[in-house]
Amino acid sequence: MKNLFLASKGHHYTYEELFRDVGSRKMACSRIFVKGNDPYQIFAAIVHSLWLDYPVELLDGDFSDEELKRMGIQASDLQPALLDGLPEHPPSHEEVTARLYPKNWTLSLYTSGTTGRPKKVTHRYESLTRQVKTGSQWKDHVWGFAYNPTHMAGLQVFFQAFCNKNPMIYVFNEEQKRLPDLIEPYQMTHLSATATYYRNIFPRLQSKTYPCVRRITFGGEGFDDRLSEKMKQVFPHAQIRNVYASTEAGSVFAGNGRTFTIPSSIKDLVKINENQELLIHQSLVGTMENAEVGSEWLNTGDVVQKVGADEFAFVSRNSDFINVGGYRVNPLEVEAVLTAVPGVADALVKGKKNSVTGNLLTADIVKEADAEEDEVKKAVREHASRTLQPWKVPRILAFVEDIPKTRTGKKVRE
């Protein structure tokens, strides 16, 4: 469709329709909360806030009343007041994107809250669009939108697409299963998603190839080399990229595999401490709720391995390590071994409390549809015993239909 802005759940919205809609909205412009799961309504609210230069806060549509209460948000806050005196004519794309550094505009979003109360992080336009590229070479891109639109990874895709007036095809949540039927009709060129997303969708994709796709981006979780090779089979013309981003700092690093390169422009704003944790200078970070006063550096909580003067590889979240008999086990390492076994579609490694070793390792396994459960279990045990040190071998294996995910589409490890 000509000048398509968004295809979502069977609906098509053009850029002309978007700006007419934005121009007709009359609402309070001092601060507004946007709660919901409809990507079009979320994106239109962001464009409106940029146009009229006022702060906006994004809330997940499935935040419960209790969560909102703990966050200090009342039901009345979700009802914007009507406002008179708006501009007579709707904005154009040029008017909105010309506001490269809007004076009053900020965008606040919330951490997923899987380990406690969701915390607010507030960004200015500069930090959200740090990695956005514009120009003629980016004008013909068509984006598969495979993230939660109220989270950082989704916002990164939105701004890259919007600033270049690119179409976005919504393929998140229930729409994910429709991805194989949407790639060719829309001539999708770019797809950015978590590794979990790609593992879930791969069985639906593997029966054919999609030459129109030019880039596949991993983000939000540890990179998986074996999964990357599978993606290359399905998308033979696609460059594989890996992006490091966080709610606090936005998109910061990129690489062609497991290794990230630290750009020379921020070399002095990144360091790795004695515990191999990645630290990012506060100048690259949004304003965080309850931030440590006087702290110059943000500890990301990510354990990394330095592999060159300006390169590092992601190892795991510090909080994800499991103590087994005094050994710190990285569940991502174990999962990579398990998913290399034929018949295993995905795996989730967790710790189970044990009075002797502190924890026992357990593994939830999603098998491929045509695989036999007994054969897969035997193969997993044999391969893990050959490949891993004894304390890294899962003692309990369970087969599950799927692996629970957070609001951002990552595996739930709690």
pLDDT above 60: residue 115: no
> Rounded distance, CA 20 to CA 227, Å?
42
Give the Cα-Cα-Cα angle 283, 289, 295 (nearest 5 degrees): 45
**Token digits for 346?**
């995905």
Q: Is the pTM of this model over 0.75?
A: yes
Instruction: Please choose, from the candidates 231, 229, 260, the residue with its C-alpha nearest in 3D space to the C-alpha of residue 246.
Output: 260
Half-sphere exposure of 86 (CA within 13 A, CB side): 19
In the CATH hierarchy, which fold is given to the domain comprising 4-243? Rossmann fold (3.40.50)
What is the CB neighbour count within 10 angstroms for residue 113?
A: 16
pLDDT above 60: residue 82: no
Tell me the backbone φ, ψ of residue 13, rounded to 5 degrees. -125, 125
pLDDT given at position 1: 62
pLDDT above 80: residue 91: yes
The confidence band for 170, taking pLDDT boundaries of 50, 70 and 90, is very high
| Least confident range of 78-92, 128-142, 224-238, 388-402 | 78-92
pLDDT above 80: residue 64: no
Q: Where in the chain is the domain with CATH 3.40.50.12780?
A: 4-243
pLDDT given at position 287: 86
pLDDT above 90: residue 212: yes
> Rounded distance, CA 341 to CA 355, Å?
31
Q: What DSSP state is assigned to residue 411?
A: B
Q: Where in the chain is the domain with CATH 3.30.300.30?
A: 321-399
pLDDT given at position 250: 85
User: What percentage of the chain carries pLDDT values higher than 70?
Assistant: 93
If one compares 219 and 382, the residue with the highest pLDDT of the two is 382
pLDDT given at position 145: 96
The confidence band for 99, taking pLDDT boundaries of 50, 70 and 90, is low
pLDDT, average across residues 253-263: 87
Q: What is the CA radius of gyration of the chain?
A: 22
pLDDT given at position 171: 96
According to CATH, the superfamily of the domain at 321-399 is ANL, C-terminal domain (3.30.300.30)
Instruction: Please choose, from the candidates 149, 141, 157, 171, the residue with its C-alpha nearest in 3D space to the C-alpha of residue 8.
Output: 171
How distant is the alpha carbon of residue 359 from its chain centre? Answer: 30
